[in-house]
Amino acid sequence: MSKINQSLFETQRQGLQQAFGACPDCEAPLQLRHGKSGAFVGCSQYPQCEFSKPLHEHEESQIKVIDGSTCPECTAPLAIKKGRYGLFIGCTNFPECHHIESTKEQSETTFACPACQQGQLVKRSNRFGKSFYACDAYPKCKFVVNQTPLSGECQKCHFKLLMVKGSGESKKLMCADKKCAHVQSKD
């Protein structure tokens, strides 16, 4: 059996060390490290120096510039981009401008927000595709319900919105106020 020439591996390690450069905090060489979230670049003097950075910086993920579109904040063109939660529309002037829009349609309901009485409830979906209804005055108003809203009044606390819970024969009307959660008859 032949012996492996370890100097080949040392040359490769030295090349990686030079690729990462020196620590900006203590000037020690940076090295490839492994943690519970995966690989990252960290200082070789850890734990005395705790400098670290991601192995891969967030690269530009612009897919296509949308013709004829302008950012409402800075008038730069908008583009379709790919992020960690999927596709979205964002300003091409990032990082100076942080304007983003969802690619998913948001449909307004005819229900006024019972919490702030200023916004409308809008059907949205989370990153897993599950639908919910939230006030369009967010972040000032944080009212949200997970079931389909229905106009009406709670028989117990007189809250101005009900929710439809279940389907078919097991359909129930429920108060949209989380403090009450009264289940009432369908009449």
Task: Give the domain range for residue 78.
Answer: 62-102
130 close to 148: Cβ distance less than 8 angstroms: no
Respond yes or no on whether the N-terminal peptide bond of residue 139 is cis (omega within 30° of 0): yes
Domain-located, residue 32 = yes
Provide the pLDDT for residue 186.
Answer: 65
Q: Which residues pair with 39 in a beta bridge?
A: 34
Tell me, what's the pLDDT at 48? 92
Residue 10 lies in a domain: no
Give me the number of domains the chain comprises: 3
Beta bridge partners of 18: none
Low-confidence ranges of the chain (pLDDT < 50): none
Residue 45 and residue 73 in one domain: no
Task: Please report where in the chains the tokens 């997970």 appear, as a residue.
Answer: 146
Q: Look up residue 128 and give its DSSP letter.
A: T
Q: Is residue 6 part of a domain?
A: no
What's the pLDDT score for residue 98?
85
pLDDT at 114: 83
Which pTM does this prediction carry? 0.45
Same domain for 45 and 83, yes or no, is no
| Contact between residue 109 and residue 103 where contact means Cβ atoms under 8 Å apart | no
Q: Give the separation between CA 156 and CA 161, rounded to whole angstroms.
A: 12
Strand partners, 124: 132
Whether residue 172 sits in one domain with residue 124: yes
